[in-house]
Amino acid sequence: MGIDGKVIAITGASSGIGRATAKLLAGRGALVVLGARTESALAAVADEIIASGGKAIFRATDVRRRSRSDIEVLVALAVERGGRLDVIVNNAGIGPISRFDALRVDDWDAMIDVNLRGTLYGIAAALPVFARQGSGHVVNVISTAGLKMVPTMGVYAATKNAVRTATEILRQEAGPNLRVTEVSPGMIATNFGDGITDQPTKRMIEEQLGEIGIAPEAIARGILFAIEQPPEVEVGSIVIRPTAQG
């Protein structure tokens, strides 16, 4: 057991769950390969990790690119610098949530592009590498929004449940050498509310996060738990939420 020496690519790594995961995994000896849209924020995370004695490299990565080139380059960087890719953590996600009658269709499109297509592109980039190696691990960060249906979360939950379905079928197709894990965070104290364009919804979510949100490190520990198991052990699904969350 352990992750020392593993090469792990993480999308959405510049803040929140991605940042916490990168720091924890690097602290346990992994080489973390960081992707997110903002290069300066990625550089800051990598600098923190390196200053603490860890190993990190990064590349600006937009998982929404229809050409899939960004995520493919991130995976190639992992293989080039680390010699292999052991795990991909598909964490990039956005949540500009609102009621359906707000008709924020551009926000719907953005969530489909990042949350669903971005995750599928990450899977598509990693699977050929895992096939060549004869091993690998896909970790998809989903959400409890897809487990409990509530107003304002319609499109967001739909994208997350689409990923949940894809993850389970990938697990069934994977065979004995590929591990597949879904992690569903609940109310986590991140900057999730920053991307909400509907102001009443934004105020509601920020109030809830302030009252019961737990630290993103809780999710990072769940991801670490799944990764550090022996190769014949697969942790299929983890739900992590505040005890106060209904």
Q: Which residues are catalytic?
A: 156
Q: What are the tokens at 59? A: 């590349």
What is 105-166 written as a DSSP string?
Answer: HHHHHHHIIIIIIHHHHHHHHHHHHHHHHT-EEEEEE--GGGTS--TT-HHHHHHHHHHHHH
DSSP for residue 215: P
- Region at 175 (left for phi over 0; alpha for psi -120 to 50; beta for the rest): left
Question: How many C-beta neighbours within 10 Å does residue 237 have?
Answer: 15
Q: What are the tokens at 146? A: 């897809």
